[in-house]
């Protein structure tokens, strides 16, 4: 494809270019297969998450904190996947500088929001299992709304500084991004300026977001496991663990892939393996979330469980 470059002069004299996303592969024989696969995945992602949101809204038995957060997670997954997949399906590899920066911002906005929401859901499971008698008071409608809003606000603010900093870097050389979307690592390598501070900033923000939410999640599940182990009945332990097994599965998958991409040494190199992992957490995980929760949450009623009210298990 012929490279199209348009220069626009801003106040700081930085040249704004149209970048070319190189995509996943240059093999023409795989393009049809990849297009069909991603179209199917994206369609199922929309249908699965919208269907879960509709079901939770329609069924009064599901109007509980756990399913409120799950409905919010489904909405985030729709937004998260829609930032990347439609452009990937469109096949138009040219993207303006402003559109590239916007895609990068919204990708990390929704990704960070999901991290904070997963930590919030872990806290919800901790209260349900470890403080079952106080759970309806501690996790009432107002508390749920505030926690969800805090996740959204935190996610909105998190990528603002790195994005603003990257947007001011000069891009006057090659315009070919070795990725299928505007990720920070591949984009920073195209800058003709000093990116040392930007690299450190992106890394620190990633560490703060991932580790803060991970530590809260880990603390919640440590207390949950401790409480479950005190349940004398094996059936009681199994049912108590089943209330958070789906969430724990999602946490392990999401955290594992993102840590591999952004926090490991030498992250952001956009090798073929990195791009495959990016496909997994950017496109496939939003599809897996409703599937995992649908398979694991067989009971329609969110029953608080814990050592002090084992008789509620049925």
pTM of the full structure: 0.83
Q: What is the pLDDT of residues 90-116, one digit of tens each?
A: 867 888 988 999 999 999 999 999 999
8 A C-beta contact, residue 167 and residue 101: yes
List the one residue out of 65, 73, 71 whose CA is nearest residue 139: 65
Q: Tell me whether residue 150 is in a domain.
A: yes
The whole-chain average pLDDT of the chain stands at 81
Q: What is the pLDDT of residues 170-218, one digit of tens each?
A: 888 778 888 889 988 888 888 888 888 888 888 889 888 988 898 999 8
- Reported confidence tier of residue 83, pLDDT bands at 50, 70, 90: very high
Give the CA-trace dihedral at 117, 120, 122, 128, to 10 degrees. -130
The DSSP element (H or E) to which 243 belongs, if any, is helix 234-262
pLDDT at 151: 96
Q: Residue 20 and residue 1: Cα distance in Å, rounded? A: 9
Q: What is the pLDDT of residues 236-260, one digit of tens each?
A: 777 767 767 777 778 888 888 777 7
List the one residue out of 146, 142, 86, 75 whose CA is nearest residue 114: 75
User: 180 φ, ψ to 5°?
Assistant: -105, 0
Q: How many residues in the chain?
A: 314
Q: What is the pLDDT of residues 261-275, one digit of tens each?
A: 776 655 445 556 778
pLDDT at 265: 54
- Would the pLDDT of 15 be above 50? yes
pLDDT at 264: 60
- Would the pLDDT of 226 be above 70? yes
With 0-12 / 13-18 / 19 or more C-beta atoms within 10 angstroms meaning exposed / middle / buried, residue 58 is exposed
- The tally of CA atoms less than 13 A away on the side-chain side of residue 177 is 28
List the one residue out of 286, 295, 307, 288 whose CA is nearest residue 77: 286
Please give the structure tokens belonging to residue 72: 């919010």
Q: Tell me whether residue 11 is in a domain.
A: no
- Reported confidence tier of residue 81, pLDDT bands at 50, 70, 90: very high
Q: Tell me whether residue 161 is in a domain.
A: yes
pLDDT at 73: 93
Q: Residue 258 and residue 255: Cα distance in Å, rounded? A: 5
8 A C-beta contact, residue 14 and residue 170: yes
Q: Residue 157 and residue 136: Cα distance in Å, rounded? A: 30
Range of the domain at 95: 18-306
Q: Tell me whether residue 4 is in a domain.
A: no
Burial 230-256 (b: 16+ CB within 10 A, else e): ebeeeebbebbbebbbbbbbbbebbbe
pLDDT at 2: 31
Q: Tell me whether residue 281 is in a domain.
A: yes
- Would the pLDDT of 302 be above 50? no
The DSSP element (H or E) to which 20 belongs, if any, is strand 18-21
pLDDT at 296: 56
- Reported confidence tier of residue 297, pLDDT bands at 50, 70, 90: low
pLDDT at 312: 34
With 0-12 / 13-18 / 19 or more C-beta atoms within 10 angstroms meaning exposed / middle / buried, residue 288 is middle
- Reported confidence tier of residue 11, pLDDT bands at 50, 70, 90: very low
Q: Tell me whether residue 165 is in a domain.
A: yes
- In total, how many domains does the chain have? 1
Residue 191 or residue 10, greater confidence? 191
Q: Tell me whether residue 1 is in a domain.
A: no
Instruction: Identify the CATH number of the domain in which residue 207 sits.
Output: 1.20.1070.10
18-21 vs 94-96, strand pairing mode: antiparallel
Q: Tell me whether residue 311 is in a domain.
A: no
Long-range contacts of 32-37 (CB under 8 A, 24+ apart): 35/89, 35/91
Token look-up 């895609």 returns 103
């Amino acid at each position: 494809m012929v490279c199209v470059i348009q220069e626009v002069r801003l106040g700081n004299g930085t040249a704004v270019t149209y970048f070319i996303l190189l995509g996943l592969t240059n093999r023409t024989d795989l393009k049809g297969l990849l297009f069909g696969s991603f179209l199917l995945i994206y369609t199922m992602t929309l249908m699965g998450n919208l269907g879960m949101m509709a079901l939770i809204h329609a069924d009064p038995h599901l109007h509980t904190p756990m399913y409120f957060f799950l409905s919010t997670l489904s909405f985030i997954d729709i937004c998260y996947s829609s930032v990347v997949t439609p452009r990937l399906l469109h096949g138009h590899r040219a993207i303006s500088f402003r559109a590239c920066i916007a895609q990068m911002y919204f990708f990390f906005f929704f990704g960070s929001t999901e991290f904070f929401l997963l930590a919030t859901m872990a806290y919800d499971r901790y209260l349900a299992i470890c403080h079952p008698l106080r759970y309806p008071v501690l996790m009432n409608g107002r508390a749920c709304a505030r926690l969800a809003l805090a996740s959204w606000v935190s996610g909105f603010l998190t990528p603002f500084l790195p994005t603003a900093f990257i947007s001011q870097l000069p891009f006057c050389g090659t315009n070919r991004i070795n990725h299928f979307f505007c990720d920070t690592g591949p984009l920073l390598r195209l800058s003709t300026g000093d990116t040392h501070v930007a690299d450190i900033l992106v890394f620190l923000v990633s560490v703060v977001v991932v580790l803060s939410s991970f530590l809260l999640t880990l603390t919640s599940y440590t207390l949950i496991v401790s409480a479950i182990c005190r349940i004398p009945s094996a059936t009681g332990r199994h049912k108590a663990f089943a209330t958070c097994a789906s969430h724990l599965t999602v946490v392990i998958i999401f955290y594992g892939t993102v840590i591999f991409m952004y926090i490991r040494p030498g992250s952001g190199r956009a090798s073929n393996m990195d791009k495959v992992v990016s496909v997994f957490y950017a496109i496939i995980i939003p599809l897996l979330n409703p599937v995992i929760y649908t398979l694991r949450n067989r009971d329609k009623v969110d029953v608080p469980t814990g050592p002090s009210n084992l008789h509620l298990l049925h």
